[in-house]
Structure 1
């Protein structure tokens, strides 16, 4: 059974471990360098009144994934950006579905009107995930340079609340 709850500072270490596994595998996130638990705590605390972080756990309390929404400078005030991370080898288990239910609720409570997903064009799993949630393509960013120097295209998808 998967449970979803708000993430907090004490969740930063297992979340960083999960995210670093994804970064090491490569190809599904724009992040290219490992993150520390303090990085995640800082990110969580920087936007507390305009963002929301949720974590999915199994019965033993092991982190299966997490999802966050936060504003981005390139988006209008009515929109918020989303990021989803699922444990390597544990995708397609309903983790993302359960997280998104809580995230949609939080976005509405925070007053947002739509959610933006900014996905690497070569991330077929991420594209399929957001499409299956009802996100629709609305723009493309070409040649986005990642911290590693790699250039990737990005697909922008929109979910109206």
Structure 2
């Protein structure tokens, strides 16, 4: 099993020369405009453009789905839908959906192994989605690390 590598830095500039996948969590209502996506949009226009087109198409645009967007020759951005709406619900539950995180990261794992790519991310699900890292990290270990996919987590 590979250990998660924690580094200080910017996840939009993933370290290494291998094939790399930058993953981040999106909501299921087509909203793009706060948090990590702002850094992505500043660097590349395609992830936002394709996410918005995907939302409009309504084709498989739902929790647990992933869209892989090629942004450079050896770099993809994975738009992962694992956040329900954008605010806490009436019960006070955060928008993050841990079951969906597991689903999307399982798909990322398959894609990463197929492409022989490493996975790079900020602390996904812990910002606007309201998730807790102690719940997300075990999912990363189970879906990626235990499948021998290299993971780097960036703290800005």
TM-score interval, normalised by the smaller of the two chains = 0.3 to 0.5
Q: Which has the higher contact order (CA 8 A, sep 6+)?
A: 2
Q: Given the two structures, how large is their TM-score scaled by the length of structure 1?
A: 0.39
Q: TM-score, with normalisation over the residues of structure 2? A: 0.40
